[in-house]
Structure 1
Amino acid sequence: MTLKSLDPRVTRLNLPEGEVPPMEEKLELDQFETYEAFHQKKEGAAHTYVGPVHAPNEDVAFLFAKEQYSRRFACVSLWIARTDHIQVTPYANDGEIVYDVLSPEGSAEHSEQPEPYEIFHLKKRGKAHAHAGRVVAISYLEALQEAKKAFGEKGPVVNVWVVKSKDVLQSADDDKDMWTTVPEKKYREAIAYKVMDKITKYKEERKNTPA
């Protein structure tokens, strides 16, 4: 017997009845931790923040994010990061560059060796954070300083998210077929309706119809 849940995403895990996915850490919480999801709409586009999910670990978070944010939207890649692994800067005003108003103070925590960090920019309040690029540093503070050098001149930036690359679960290149819609469910994709083909055909018929 498999576990049945009011949440269809849990049911689709096909877990043995009574089994619950283990938490990554033993925390005194009354619900699962939150993870942040970023998706890439097409090859070459930046990964953009789409929203959070609650999950017991990052693998289940990835599954939930896929179900929640890519079923009805174009998606070729998905990134997941636990919320408490993301460092967030204060907010600047629209039109400003937050790097210019950041205090040099920061966490004393640092690693022995430089490691990669992912940088996400919010260009305007009300929009979504988008991946600006990767820097190499020994701390979050140094990562911000390197990000300022690399990306700080690229227009207004009102907020920055910084996360260690090792803390981001990224879909692999050979996972791209996981978003391929099976033929019997093409109705989920707008492109399957071929609306422009129908509009073009209608225009041609109208043009060839005597007044």
Structure 2
Amino acid sequence: MAVDSLDPRIRRWNLQQQRAEDYSAQDLDQLPTYEVFVQLKDGKAFEHAGIVHAATPDMAFLFAKEQFSRRYTCTGMWVVPSDLVWVTSFTELEENLYDHISNMTTKARGPLEDYHVFHLIKRGKQHKYEGQVQAKDQQHALLMAKEKFDNGKPVLNIWLIKSVDMRITTEEDQIIWSTLKEKTHRDVISYRAGDRLKKFKEKENG
């Protein structure tokens, strides 16, 4: 039975109702962690926004939408289980991570798979999407990323994620952003407090 909700955003997902007995107490102690990436405008690179805890990828996407696009509109969102993100080591200071893999070799076998590549350019900032490569495993993907994305500038850390592991928005999902309106009531400038105070003083002194 589908989840009955007055929220049209939840009804669109056609989520199935699940009974409480379907989960054990141990399962509920800690829900899996999902990494969230958002695209704020068309043409902008996807950027890591934070994490959510959820029982399923679809629920993680729903939570991420409410948490990371509630105040600001965005045009796309990706979520992926944290344990499926392959993370390199960090470099020191302004070293380029790609310089440390110049002599790396791989004996990877098997079919090529699509990997998404994310770069961390500056400590304290978020990882940004750089592009996609095809590779047989993570080591091979790192070599392909160096060949394709290394421009000599410092890259402090790299995340690699298989495309098949990500829950991504598609063209059909674009309707979910239409419910988000610009919330100008949150902006101080919308209230024109300075103009109102000036009129009040003029009236008092008039």
Give the aligned partner of residue 99 of structure 2. Answer: 100
* Structure 1 contact 92–158 (Cα < 8 Å) conserved: yes
Q: Which amino acid aligns with 1:104?
A: M
Shift in alpha-carbon separation, 1:97–1:17, aligned structure 2, 3 A: closer
Say which SS state the counterpart of residue 180 (structure 1) adopts.
helix
Q: In the alignment, does 2:138 pair up with 1:140?
A: yes
List per-residue Cα deviations over 1:53-109 (Å, max 9, x = no partner). Answer: 111111111111111111111211000111111100000134221111248378x8x
Give the aligned partner of residue 76 of structure 1. Answer: 75
The structure 2 residue matched to 1:112, chosen from 107, 110, 113, is 110
* Structure 1 contact 94–125 (Cα < 8 Å) conserved: no
* Structure 2 contact 112–134 (Cα < 8 Å) conserved: yes
Uncovered stretches (5+) of structure 2, i.e. residues with no partner? 4-9, 196-206
Give the aligned partner of residue 183 of structure 2. Answer: 189
List per-residue Cα deviations over 1:169-203 (Å, max 9, x = no partner). Answer: 10111212212236xxx5x624996958x79xx7x
Shift in alpha-carbon separation, 1:100–1:17, aligned structure 2, 3 A: closer
* Structure 1 contact 22–56 (Cα < 8 Å) conserved: no
Report percent identity of matched pairs: 35
Give the aligned partner of residue 7 of structure 1. Answer: none
Say which SS state the counterpart of residue 39 (structure 1) adopts.
strand
Q: Distance in 1 between matches of 2:142 and 2:185?
A: 40
Give the aligned partner of residue 59 of structure 1. Answer: 58
Say which SS state the counterpart of residue 95 (structure 1) adopts.
coil
Shift in alpha-carbon separation, 1:92–1:20, aligned structure 2, 3 A: farther
TM-score (norm 2): 0.75
Uncovered stretches (5+) of structure 1, i.e. residues with no partner? 4-9, 203-211
* Structure 1 contact 122–130 (Cα < 8 Å) conserved: yes
Give the aligned partner of residue 202 of structure 2. Answer: none
Shift in alpha-carbon separation, 1:180–1:21, aligned structure 2, 3 A: farther
Q: Distance in 2 between matches of 1:113 and 1:189?
A: 47
List per-residue Cα deviations over 1:2-29 (Å, max 9, x = no partner). Answer: 99xxxxxx9xx98758547879xxx877
Shift in alpha-carbon separation, 1:158–1:76, aligned structure 2, 3 A: same
Q: Which amino acid aligns with 2:183?
A: E
Give the aligned partner of residue 38 of structure 1. Answer: 37
Q: Which amino acid aligns with 1:169?
A: R
Say which SS state the counterpart of residue 35 (structure 1) adopts.
strand
Give the aligned partner of residue 209 of structure 1. Answer: none
Q: In the alignment, does 2:178 pair up with 1:180?
A: yes
Q: Distance in 2 between matches of 1:66 and 1:154?
A: 35
Deviates more, 1:27-36 or 1:123-132: 27-36
* Structure 2 contact 96–152 (Cα < 8 Å) conserved: no
Q: Distance in 2 between matches of 1:191 and 1:156?
A: 41
The structure 2 residue matched to 1:122, chosen from 117, 120, 136, is 120
List per-residue Cα deviations over 1:112-135 (Å, max 9, x = no partner). Answer: 210110000000000000000000
